Amino acid sequence: MKLILFILTINTLLPGCSKYIRGTGLSEGEKLYRSRCSACHILIDKDALSRDGWELALRRYGGKLTEDEKRKIIKYLTGSE
């Protein structure tokens, strides 16, 4: 019975999350932000920092990102896509 309730709950919730699971409708920068940055920590609201703040954060904490990935993420976070 618990398994059935679990399956029904998942089937109810997943359609609303499918955009984020499949990544459809997301910009390249947002896909990178959601997948790469959330691997190490919770995601910060994109309005929390200025462009300079995001650039500093990615320089400091984005060691595993390529320069191209950093550029795309900053464009997404600053709304300049």
Q: Is 37 part of a structural domain of the chain?
A: yes
4 in any annotated domain: no
pLDDT of residue 25: 86
Task: Find the domain containing 68 and state its range.
Answer: 27-81
Q: Is this prediction's pTM over 0.75?
A: no
Count of structural domains, the chain: 1
Spell out the per-residue pLDDT of the chain, length 81, in tens. Answer: 765 555 656 655 555 555 455 556 899 999 999 999 988 889 999 999 999 999 999 999 898 999 999 999 999 999 987
Whether 20 is in a domain gets the answer no
Q: What is the pLDDT of residue 75?
A: 96
Question: Is residue 7 within 8 Å of 13, Cβ to Cβ?
Answer: no
CA 4 distance to own-chain centroid: 31
Of 17, 80, 35, 15, the C-alpha closest to 54 is 80
Give the list of residues 6+ apart from residue 61 with CB closer than 8 angstroms, or none. 40
Q: Is residue 31 part of a domain?
A: yes
Tokens encoding 60: 């400091």
Residue 13 lies in a domain: no
